[in-house]
């Protein structure tokens, strides 16, 4: 059965529209595929970007934490250093106070020495006449005094410098061997820079004391002597 021209034209038009629609659908599929690929590429790019950002952020955080730890450590070191300096300053202040006290004590000691020397200078007489101990005692008593005695280190040191030769002073150990006492006060002689290995009571009869040589001697030996008023 032959189609009419109108029907043929209509079919051709429908086929043409169908072909257009197929081509349009195909173009849409291609476009959708391209969009899908673009979305995948964009997603991968975003994931890489996010990963890079996260790594950089983590690196920054780690470095910041390390810096904070380093700052804390430096702060601790600075604190310890300041504490050490404070301790050193306190020690120096204490040392300075001790030095000042020592200087003050020395000045006080110098004053005592000066007073002792002034007193001794006005009281001492050295007689170069050679006598045994008992005669020297009598000679000093005739002059209104006694054989010299030293109650302090300063006085003893002055006595030692007062004579330039061996001389009797007023100490002996006649009552108890090895224990020298002053004649007038019977107080022990507690300071004397003895000569080497002295006193040694050589011969068993060295009971009297001479200075300059600073040793014990027999009381019958003759020496010059120092009197004090």
Q: At what angle do helices 5-123 and 153-162 cross, to 10 degrees?
A: 60
Please state, in angstroms and rounded to a whole number, the distance separating the CA atoms of residues 59 and 65.
10
Q: 127 pLDDT band (50/70/90 cuts)?
A: confident
Reported residue count of the chain is 229
Query: Could you tell me the residue range of the domain that residue 136 belongs to?
Result: 124-228
Enter the tokens of residue 157.
């040191």
Asked whether residue 1 is assigned to any structural domain, the reply reads no
What's the pLDDT band for 107 if we cut at 50, 70, 90? very low
pLDDT reading at 120 higher than 60: no
> What pLDDT does 2 receive?
47
Q: How far apart are CA 47 and CA 204, in angstroms?
A: 114
Give the model's pLDDT for residue 145.
92
Nearest to 213 by CA among 151, 152, 180, 164: 164
Please state, rounded to an integer, the average pLDDT across all residues of the chain: 80
Residues 51-84 pLDDT 10s: 777 787 778 778 877 777 777 777 777 777 767 7
Whether residue 228 contacts residue 120, with contact meaning beta carbons closer than 8 Å, is answered with yes
Structure tokens at 13: 């038009």
Distance between CA 101 and CA 96 in Å, rounded? Answer: 8
When mean pLDDT is compared across 19-23, 183-187, 225-229, the lowest value belongs to 19-23
Please state, as a whole number, how many other Cβ atoms lie within 10 Å of the Cβ of residue 21: 10
- Residue 97: per-residue pLDDT: 67
CA distances from 191 to 118, 149, 181, 182 (A): 20, 11, 11, 12
Decide if 184 is inside a domain.
yes
Q: Residue 150 sits in a domain of what CATH number?
A: 3.10.100.10
Residue 66 inside a domain? The answer is: no
Let me know if residue 18 belongs to a domain: no
Domain annotation covers residue 5: no
Closest residue by Cα to residue 114 from 154, 78, 72: 154
What pLDDT sits at residue 18?
75
Report the number of distinct structural domains present in the chain: 1
Q: Is the pTM of this model over 0.85?
A: no
Confidence of residue 99 (pLDDT cuts 50, 70, 90): low
**Residue 130: inside a domain, yes or no?**
yes
Helices then strands, each counted (H, E), the chain: 3, 7
Residue 185 counted as domain residue: yes
The yes-or-no verdict on residue 181 having pLDDT over 60 is yes
The pLDDT > 70 percentage for the chain reads 83
Residue 181 lies in a domain: yes
Who has greater pLDDT, 110 or 210?
A: 210
CA 145, CA 158: separation in Å to the nearest integer? 18
The string of DSSP codes covering 132-167 is: -HHHHHHHHHHTT-EE---SSHHHHHHHHHH-SS-E
* Nearest-angstrom CA–CA distance, 126 and 7: 172
Q: By three-state DSSP, how is residue 115 classified? A: helix
């Amino acid at each position: 059965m032959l189609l009419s021209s109108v029907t043929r034209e209509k079919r051709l038009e429908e086929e043409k529209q169908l072909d257009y629609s197929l081509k349009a659908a195909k173009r849409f599929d291609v476009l959708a595929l391209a969009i899908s690929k673009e979305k995948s590429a964009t997603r991968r790019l975003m994931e890489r970007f996010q990963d890079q950002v996260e790594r950089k952020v983590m690196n920054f955080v780690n470095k910041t934490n390390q810096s904070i730890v380093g700052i804390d450590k430096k702060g601790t070191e600075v604190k310890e250093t300041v504490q050490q300096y404070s301790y050193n300053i306190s020690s120096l202040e204490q040392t300075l106070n001790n030095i000042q006290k020592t200087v003050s004590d020395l000045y006080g000691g110098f004053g005592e020495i000066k007073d002792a020397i002034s007193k001794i200078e006005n009281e001492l007489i050295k007689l170069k006449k050679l006598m045994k101990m008992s005669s020297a005692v009598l000679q000093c008593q005739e002059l209104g005094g006694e054989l010299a005695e030293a109650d302090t280190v300063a006085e003893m040191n002055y006595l030692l410098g007062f004579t330039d030769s061996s001389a009797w002073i007023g100490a002996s150990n006649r009552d108890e061997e090895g224990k020298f006492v002053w004649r007038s006060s019977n107080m022990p002689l507690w300071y004397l820079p003895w000569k080497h290995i002295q006193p040694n009571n050589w011969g068993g009869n060295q009971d009297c004391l001479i200075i300059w040589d600073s040793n014990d001697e027999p009381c019958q030996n003759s020496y010059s002597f120092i009197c004090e008023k």
